[in-house]
A and B are shown apart, each in its own frame.
Chain A
Amino acid sequence: MTATVGRETRRWIGESVRRREDLPLVQGKGRYAADLEVPGMVHMAVLRSPHGHARIRGIDASRARALPGVFDVISAADLAGIGEFPVLWRLPGLKPSGIPVLARDKVRYVGEPVAAVVAESRYVAEDALDLIEVDYEPLPAVADVEAAIAPGAPVINDAWGDNIAIKHVVSGVNAKGEAGDVEGAFAAAHTVVTGRFKINRFSGVPLETRGLLAIHDPLSGDLTLWSSSQVAHKLRTQLSEVLNFPEASIRIRTPNLGGGFGVKWDAYPEDALVCILAQRLGRPVKYIEDRREHLQATVHAREQLHELEMAVAEDGTVLGIRGRIYCDLGAHPHSVGIGPAWVTGVSLTGQYAIKNLSCDVYAIATNKVPSSTFRGFGGPEATFAIERLMDKAALALAMDPAEIRRRNYIQPDEFPWFSAGGGVFDSGNYPGLLEKALAAVGYDALRDEQARLREQGVHRGIGIGAYIHTAGFGPSMVLGLLSYYTSGYEGSTIKVDPGGNVTIYTGMIPMGQGTETTLAQVAADQFGVDIDKVKVVWGDTSQTPYTGFGSAGSRSNVAAAAIIKAGEVVKAKAERIAANLLEASPDDVVYADGAVTVKGSPDKRVELREIAEQAYLAHRLPEGDQPTLEGTYVYDPALFTIASGCHIAVVDVDVETGELKIVKYVVVDDAGTIINPLLVEGQIQGGLAQGFGGAQLEEFVYDEDGQLLTQSFMDYLLPSIHEMPDVEIHHQVTPSPHTPGGFKGMGEAGTFPPGPALANAVSDALRPLGVEVDAMPITSNAVWALLQR
């Protein structure tokens, strides 16, 4: 590969560049949290509640402490001066709570941390857990939202008085302050369709569990935490508060992450526990969550119950949506509060020009692990609701499901669109997505074939799932208006060394998406240099710029924009230095293709390497410029970016067994400008696998006492290679008009439509039998049960 052809510099954005991350990883030389080892290191294990709801009457750890090889045992009584992790998203009206480091008087879910042991090995630490005696008084538990709001239900958070964490009203006022008229919409409706939708409890479940190693240096007083967190800077700030420890003395380092998918965004009790124990013992303390703990105690997501209705005119125009969403919050709000359910409520209008919306979002406490962040963040739940409602409306009006969507899309010339949920949609071409997907799947021929097959007793169905995804989350000011105590900016520092090599410092934490490679592609283009001249530094809060939000699957657009803006700062300085060297006016020179030239005289040229050398020598710098060649830019997005897509599923359903087979699956996505097509495909396919998993297999199941029944991979089923169908992927590119580079962010989008696309397809297949699929997961059992009604 040569970097330049004549003076035409190679462009890296848009190329399927092979990942720089791979070389160590394919050789088993990655370094994940579990692989870290330092002298004197000891191991923590956590005693967790076996009850869904119980009072703690006493804890006796004397036998555990006496076990040879045990260094320390702590419970809540030992945590004087230690606070609780805060709920960061504090919508007005949300009842107060925090995330305790260890349960004090009461446990509220199976898996809640009660005590921690440190021992010479994990084996001995787990032996010691068995010797801790906790006197529990079991309390009645509630394990679903309907039980939790029933009169006389046991109250989980005593100070609340009931189990309703919040009733938040989505009032349907758009960002211009225009209120809809929902009552009028329903009064004018030709048809009203209703949906009672159940979204299952599932989650990111990365193959690597959470991992930590805390090192406290008694001489300097500094605390170093190696953590598999996706959001090191924000975790540092939270830890400082919880531990009452100076933030400047906390350094968080990040090893390779074995996946994150959102669940590693939240802060957890163990993050504080290892730090506390490392200080108490003066020894490094390591903790690696095991799989059972992960399934019990790392946040779950998604579980919601919807009671919605949609008003439709005779011609298929959707006039309005109203109803209620019940979010099963688990025992208490976690880091993002009820954020995902809020996103669901405001996103219910999907890709459609629906101006009237009202929705009451209830977040209900239950005796389950808290529900929080997971790839998609409330969007897939909204997608399920609106896409099912569209199909129900089509059915009621005897209209084709594609046609009713055509009649309701926000049109490409209507952007920016001010949605009834308060969003500002930057750009998109939703009808374009649908038509491309219909053509790819061969829709008209499929409908003919479906009719023929039906006569032969084959139940084939076609289901559309179209989505919008609010990516690039988000402008800090807007997050402030939402009472979300995070910020949306991403900083980038760029240093060009004396040899002309470019180093990018980013607060982003790569979780496996290829962030290092894609950011290097952006920087290589920005400077017109070969990608091998670009180094990306991440994973150390002492080196990288503070990031307000941290990594999410759709944040690389914000990080890329920061690199572009920081690059502009550095290139402007390079132009001034070069102009001085060329004895030209700074206004007469331009940086392009790795060098500064005098406009109109391309032979008058200074290469970046030479400019960098001069910047460091500082012998001939322009007046007012400081030595060295570096710059920082903190990019705060001006608006959200709205990615979109349309999926079509074709399934065959066996009416004897309820089994569904995906015959064909077509994806058309639009994430704006694409940096690396190969990696984008990988993100879509991986997101789809998680979408199919949640739609067909995955579910955290609790019994009515709050006992978790799915505590292993034999019960919580991740999709295997056998469950992944063939997938056909097409792209449409509608760049964001306001993001430098036009990127929108696409890492989460694949998770959105599989649920509704499959539910629509199965309902379509079983239409002659009157079956409507309104709940996930769509297992064979579930379909079979619907067929027996």
Chain B
Amino acid sequence: MTRQSVQLTVNGATRTVEVEPRKTLADAIREDVGLTGTHLGCEQGVCGACTVLLDDEPVRSCLMFAVQAEGHQIRTIEGVAQDGQLHPIQEAFSEYHGLQCGFCTPGMILASLHLLETNPAPTVDEIKEELGGNLCRCTGYIKIVEAVQAAALTMTSEAGR
């Protein structure tokens, strides 16, 4: 099948990849850009493990074609820590045991990042609403909610400094 040249901007860096038009954004990020932190749990658009931020909005990268992402800003889990420093959400997921096997974690963290960037002090119901499309099979979610609450406090207090 013919390949097409696509410019993908991932975590601020733009690169050109040659992909078949049918290649999903998730596969292009993983195989062509080489960032494997975006995980594929179902490729049916349900589990949310492949969540990335496209122009700061969460999308399921398994349901998009790579060619559709040209001209958009993509953020993946690899772009969440800055200058070698974990983001407060990443710290909180570890501290509150909001992850076990870690497979859903990148998607969970990106969905949480979107939430806290748009709503710095979410209620528990708002956290559940945002993460309702991300499945976790290990934790039972309770500690994920605690982690997001803790991260919100940290981010708010850091922003106030």
| C-alpha spacing A28/B99, complex, angstroms | 12
Q: Of A256, A681, A720, which contacts B97 at CB under 8 A?
A: A681
| C-alpha spacing A681/B90, complex, angstroms | 20
Contact A28 B138 (CB under 8 A): no
Asked if A512 meets B138 with Cβ closer than 8 Å, knowing A18-B95, A28-B35, the reply is yes
Asked if A258 meets B102 with Cβ closer than 8 Å, knowing A685-B142, A718-B137, A722-B128, the reply is yes
The residues of A that contact B136 with a CB separation of less than 8 Å are 207, 689, 721
Contact A207 B37 (CB under 8 A): no
The residues of B that contact A678 with a CB separation of less than 8 Å are 97
> Taking the complex as formed, is B59 at the interface, i.e. its CB lies under 8 A from any CB of chain A?
no
Contact A724 B141 (CB under 8 A): yes
Asked if A27 meets B86 with Cβ closer than 8 Å, knowing A34-B40, A208-B41, A291-B44, the reply is yes
Within 8 A of A (CB), among B13-56: 20, 22-23, 30, 35-44, 46-47, 49
> Taking the complex as formed, is B109 at the interface, i.e. its CB lies under 8 A from any CB of chain A?
yes
The residues of B that contact A258 with a CB separation of less than 8 Å are 39, 41, 101-103
Contact B132 A686 (CB under 8 A): no
Most chain A CB neighbours (cut-off 10 Å) among B46, B100, B133? B100
Contact A26 B141 (CB under 8 A): no
Q: Of B64-72, B74-82, B115-123, B152-160, which stretch is located at the interface?
A: B74-82
Q: Of A208, A722, A727, which contacts B103 at CB under 8 A?
A: A208
Contact A26 B44 (CB under 8 A): no
> Taking the complex as formed, is B114 at the interface, i.e. its CB lies under 8 A from any CB of chain A?
no
| C-alpha spacing A266/B97, complex, angstroms | 28
| C-alpha spacing A123/B23, complex, angstroms | 8
Q: Of A209, A685, A714, which contacts B46 at CB under 8 A?
A: A714
> Taking the complex as formed, is A261 at the interface, i.e. its CB lies under 8 A from any CB of chain B?
yes
> Taking the complex as formed, is B8 at the interface, i.e. its CB lies under 8 A from any CB of chain A?
no
Contact B77 A27 (CB under 8 A): yes
Contact B44 A28 (CB under 8 A): no
Asked if A686 meets B140 with Cβ closer than 8 Å, knowing A26-B93, A28-B76, A32-B103, the reply is yes
Asked if A29 meets B37 with Cβ closer than 8 Å, knowing A207-B104, A721-B131, the reply is yes
Residues 511-541 of chain A: 1 if any B CB is under 8 Å from the residue's CB, otherwise 0? 1111000000000000000000000000000
> Taking the complex as formed, is A335 at the interface, i.e. its CB lies under 8 A from any CB of chain B?
no
Question: Secondary structure at chain B's binding surface: helix, strand, loop or mixed?
Answer: loop
> Taking the complex as formed, is A299 at the interface, i.e. its CB lies under 8 A from any CB of chain B?
no
Instruction: Name the CB-closest residue of A to B134.
Output: A721
- Distance of B114 from chain A, by nearest CB (Å): 15
Asked if A208 meets B94 with Cβ closer than 8 Å, knowing A28-B106, A682-B100, the reply is no
Contact A208 B101 (CB under 8 A): yes
| C-alpha spacing A290/B144, complex, angstroms | 26
- Distance of B66 from chain A, by nearest CB (Å): 12
The residues of B that contact A204 with a CB separation of less than 8 Å are 137
| C-alpha spacing A176/B72, complex, angstroms | 72
Q: Of B22, B78, B109, B144, which contacts A123 at CB under 8 A?
A: B22
- Distance of A132 from chain B, by nearest CB (Å): 19
Contact B144 A721 (CB under 8 A): yes
Contact A685 B101 (CB under 8 A): no
The residues of B that contact A682 with a CB separation of less than 8 Å are 97, 100, 138-140, 143
The residues of B that contact A19 with a CB separation of less than 8 Å are 94, 97
The residues of B that contact A511 with a CB separation of less than 8 Å are 101
> Taking the complex as formed, is A654 at the interface, i.e. its CB lies under 8 A from any CB of chain B?
no
Q: Of A27, A514, A721, which contacts B128 at CB under 8 A?
A: A721
> Taking the complex as formed, is B63 at the interface, i.e. its CB lies under 8 A from any CB of chain A?
no
Within 8 A of B (CB), among A245-272: 256-259, 261
Query: Total A-B residue pairs with C-beta atoms closer than 8 Å?
Result: 170
Contact A713 B138 (CB under 8 A): no
- Distance of A131 from chain B, by nearest CB (Å): 15
- Distance of B72 from chain A, by nearest CB (Å): 19
> Taking the complex as formed, is A206 at the interface, i.e. its CB lies under 8 A from any CB of chain B?
yes
> Taking the complex as formed, is B150 at the interface, i.e. its CB lies under 8 A from any CB of chain A?
no
| C-alpha spacing A513/B97, complex, angstroms | 10
The residues of A that contact B93 with a CB separation of less than 8 Å are 22, 26
> Taking the complex as formed, is A705 at the interface, i.e. its CB lies under 8 A from any CB of chain B?
no
> Taking the complex as formed, is A35 at the interface, i.e. its CB lies under 8 A from any CB of chain B?
yes
| C-alpha spacing A720/B137, complex, angstroms | 9
Contact B140 A25 (CB under 8 A): no
Q: Of B43, B81, B103, which contacts A27 at CB under 8 A?
A: B81
Contact B141 A28 (CB under 8 A): no
| C-alpha spacing A531/B131, complex, angstroms | 34
| C-alpha spacing A101/B135, complex, angstroms | 32
The residues of B that contact A257 with a CB separation of less than 8 Å are 101
Contact B140 A718 (CB under 8 A): no
Q: Of A18, A31, A724, which contacts B140 at CB under 8 A?
A: A724
> Taking the complex as formed, is B145 at the interface, i.e. its CB lies under 8 A from any CB of chain A?
yes
Contact A690 B105 (CB under 8 A): no
Contact A712 B103 (CB under 8 A): no
Asked if A123 meets B20 with Cβ closer than 8 Å, knowing A207-B49, A686-B138, the reply is yes
| C-alpha spacing A685/B99, complex, angstroms | 12
Contact B101 A207 (CB under 8 A): yes
The residues of B that contact A512 with a CB separation of less than 8 Å are 100-103, 138
- Distance of A555 from chain B, by nearest CB (Å): 16
The residues of B that contact A34 with a CB separation of less than 8 Å are 30, 36, 39-40
Instruction: Name the CB-closest residue of A to B81.
Output: A27
- Distance of A319 from chain B, by nearest CB (Å): 38
| C-alpha spacing A261/B100, complex, angstroms | 12
Contact A689 B132 (CB under 8 A): no
Most chain A CB neighbours (cut-off 10 Å) among B35, B39, B102, B142? B102
Asked if A712 meets B100 with Cβ closer than 8 Å, knowing A689-B139, A721-B128, the reply is no
Instruction: Name the CB-closest residue of B to A714.
Output: B46
> Taking the complex as formed, is A21 at the interface, i.e. its CB lies under 8 A from any CB of chain B?
yes
> Taking the complex as formed, is A627 at the interface, i.e. its CB lies under 8 A from any CB of chain B?
no
Contact A27 B44 (CB under 8 A): no
Asked if A290 meets B128 with Cβ closer than 8 Å, knowing A259-B101, A685-B140, the reply is no
| C-alpha spacing A511/B102, complex, angstroms | 10
Residues 352-392 of chain A: 1 if any B CB is under 8 Å from the residue's CB, otherwise 0? 00000000000000000000000000000000000000000
Asked if A26 meets B43 with Cβ closer than 8 Å, knowing A259-B137, A678-B97, A681-B97, the reply is no
The residues of B that contact A123 with a CB separation of less than 8 Å are 1, 20, 22-23
Within 8 A of B (CB), among A19-70: 19, 21-23, 25-32, 34-35
- Distance of A310 from chain B, by nearest CB (Å): 32
- Distance of B90 from chain A, by nearest CB (Å): 4
Contact A685 B94 (CB under 8 A): no
Contact B137 A514 (CB under 8 A): no
The residues of A that contact B139 with a CB separation of less than 8 Å are 682, 685-686, 689
| C-alpha spacing A396/B100, complex, angstroms | 44
- Distance of A259 from chain B, by nearest CB (Å): 4
Contact A26 B109 (CB under 8 A): yes
Q: Of B47, B78, B97, B134, which contacts A28 at CB under 8 A?
A: B78
Most chain B CB neighbours (cut-off 10 Å) among A25, A30, A688? A25
- Distance of A204 from chain B, by nearest CB (Å): 8
| C-alpha spacing A512/B95, complex, angstroms | 15
Contact B44 A256 (CB under 8 A): no
The residues of B that contact A208 with a CB separation of less than 8 Å are 39, 41, 101, 103
| C-alpha spacing A384/B20, complex, angstroms | 51
Q: Of B42, B103, B140, B142, which contacts A713 at CB under 8 A?
A: B42
The residues of B that contact A256 with a CB separation of less than 8 Å are 101-102
A-B contact pairs, 26 of them (CB 8 A): A21-B102, A26-B90, A26-B105, A28-B35, A28-B37, A28-B38, A28-B77, A28-B78, A28-B80, A34-B39, A35-B36, A206-B137, A207-B41, A208-B101, A208-B103, A259-B100, A291-B43, A291-B44, A512-B100, A685-B141, A689-B136, A689-B139, A712-B42, A714-B46, A721-B128, A721-B141
Q: 4 more A-B contacts (CB under 8 A) besides A207-B137, A512-B102, A713-B46?
A: A28-B36, A28-B80, A258-B103, A686-B137
3 closest pairs, A vs B, by CB? A28-B37, A512-B101, A258-B103
- Give chain A's interface residues, CB within 8 Å of chain B: 18-19, 21-23, 25-32, 34-35, 123, 204-209, 256-259, 261, 290-292, 511-514, 678-679, 681-682, 685-690, 712-714, 718, 720-722, 724, 726-727, 750
